Amino acid sequence: MTHDQISLWVKVQEDKGLDVESVKTRLKNMVIETPSWGYGDSGTRFKVFKQQGVPRNPFEKLEDAAEVQRVTGVCPTVAVHIPWDKVEDYGAFKKHAQDLGLRIGAVNPNLFQDDDYALGSLCNPRAEVRQRALAHMLECVEIMNKVDSNILSLWLADGTNYPGQDDFRKRKHYLMDALTEVYQALPEDARILIEYKMFEPAFYHTDLADWGMAFNYALKLGDKAQVLVDLGHHAQGTNVAHIVSTLLDEGKLGGFHFNNRKYADDDLMVGTIDPYELFLISLELVSGEQDPATSECADNVSYMIDQSHNIEKKIPAMIRSVMNIQTAFAKALLVPREELKQAQEKGDVIRAEFIVKEAFETDVRPLLAMVRQEMGLQPDPLKAYVEGPYDKKILARGIGGQGW
């Protein structure tokens, strides 16, 4: 990216009336959380392909996250998953993060990888299994206290595989009971984010199947409970941006798990299959921030990546996802809101669509390069990584690191 390209970009946008400085400020303030599990081996139900250089323990995962933070500058927090990131000494773990310039973000319980959970965890027909799952949730709350996390991020894999297998309403009550207990245990300033998912690993029904179900629980629990949107968890044809705007309007949008998919919950790199959808979601987020009625909620939305890299290298995949979120968000910041509003109010469909699309068509690489340089970073994070020493250094870890 040459100086000429950047200065011309600024000029063109300023001529259009864009406040480039405030756009840059917003982009510098972005925080995108990366997941510890995104650095480990993962796969499909058919195969986990083992890669060389994968972290062998939670401390090494933090080190990989720190490398992503080094080249992007917007990833200071790391989500952890218990028990995958269970350690003896959480003080030492938190300290390791701090030494790397990181903080621990959301704590994610695991309610799906125990043989007892075959028929569900918090919704299991057997009381002792439900108790065990609840105890694990409460253990995660304890860990939140130890690592200074203020988000408990719940993905509940519970559901059934066959009609008749269990009683939907009974399970709903089990879940409400458990969430109520967890909610009461939350630290004062903490939130629980409730994720939903249409199918998989349960194939007939999922106890938290859609945003409406997650929203209903969040509503009953109280202000500290919000909904988490994972981009890959919807039925085909769903308008996710519309759900995002609805949750924002209700003050119940808590966070995202960013990723991408073509068919199911493919957990591909963010923005690789449908970048326009990502941009349209960003548009709602920017709109939410700029509207006083929703800005408090919008400002607290937690941006998290949730990916499962099967065949590509983990760290560059994470960097690409961060870049793609920045790209979508930067484009969303370019939309001339007042002009758009006028076209909408006039019912000028052609013009309104055009205005939004023009922002998307704009190449924001000059803008992002400028932002990164002003943050003391190299303009191209992927290049910074590929040309840095880290990629080779971690090969010494060998094959067979942690996976899930």
Exposure string over 244-255, b if 16+ CB within 10 A, otherwise e? bbbbbeebbbbb
The CB-of-287 to a second copy minimum distance in angstroms stands at 7
Question: Residue 192 or residue 319: which is nearer to a second copy going by CB?
Answer: 319
The CB-of-50 to a second copy minimum distance in angstroms stands at 6
Nearest-angstrom CA–CA distance, 131 and 123: 10
Question: Residue 8 or residue 135: which is nearer to a second copy going by CB?
Answer: 8
Burial of 232: CB neighbours in 10 Å, binned 0-12, 13-18, 19+: buried
Question: Residue 9 or residue 303: which is nearer to a second copy going by CB?
Answer: 9
The CB-of-378 to a second copy minimum distance in angstroms stands at 16
Helix (H, G, I), strand (E, B) or coil at 228: strand
The CB-of-381 to a second copy minimum distance in angstroms stands at 12
Nearest-angstrom CA–CA distance, 170 and 119: 14
The CB-of-205 to a second copy minimum distance in angstroms stands at 5
Question: Residue 138 or residue 382: which is nearer to a second copy going by CB?
Answer: 382
DSSP at 110: -
Nearest-angstrom CA–CA distance, 23 and 27: 6
Question: Residue 78 or residue 269: which is nearer to a second copy going by CB?
Answer: 269
Question: Residue 50 or residue 393: which is nearer to a second copy going by CB?
Answer: 50
How do beta strands 191-195 and 151-154 pair? parallel
Question: Residue 235 or residue 396: which is nearer to a second copy going by CB?
Answer: 235
Kindly report the backbone phi and psi dihedral angles of residue 268, in degrees, each rounded to the nearest multiple of 5, phi listed first: -80, 170
Question: Residue 13 or residue 149: which is nearer to a second copy going by CB?
Answer: 13
Burial of 299: CB neighbours in 10 Å, binned 0-12, 13-18, 19+: exposed
Left (φ > 0), alpha (ψ -120 to 50) or beta: where does 309 sit?
A: beta
Q: Are 257 and 231 in contact (CB under 8 A)?
A: yes
SS (H, E, C) 306-366: CCCCCCCCHHHHHHHHHHHHHHHHHHHHHCCHHHHHHHHHHCCHHHHHHHHHHHHHCCCHH
Question: Residue 95 or residue 204: which is nearer to a second copy going by CB?
Answer: 204
H/E stretch holding 375 reads: none
Question: Residue 97 or residue 129: which is nearer to a second copy going by CB?
Answer: 129
Which parts of 125-239 fold into alpha helices (H)? 127-147, 168-185, 211-221
The CB-of-288 to a second copy minimum distance in angstroms stands at 8
Nearest-angstrom CA–CA distance, 235 and 255: 19
Determine the longest span between alpha carbons in the chain, in angstroms: 67
The CB-of-352 to a second copy minimum distance in angstroms stands at 5
Residue at 222: amino acid letter: G
The CB-of-349 to a second copy minimum distance in angstroms stands at 4
The CB-of-184 to a second copy minimum distance in angstroms stands at 22
The CB-of-262 to a second copy minimum distance in angstroms stands at 6
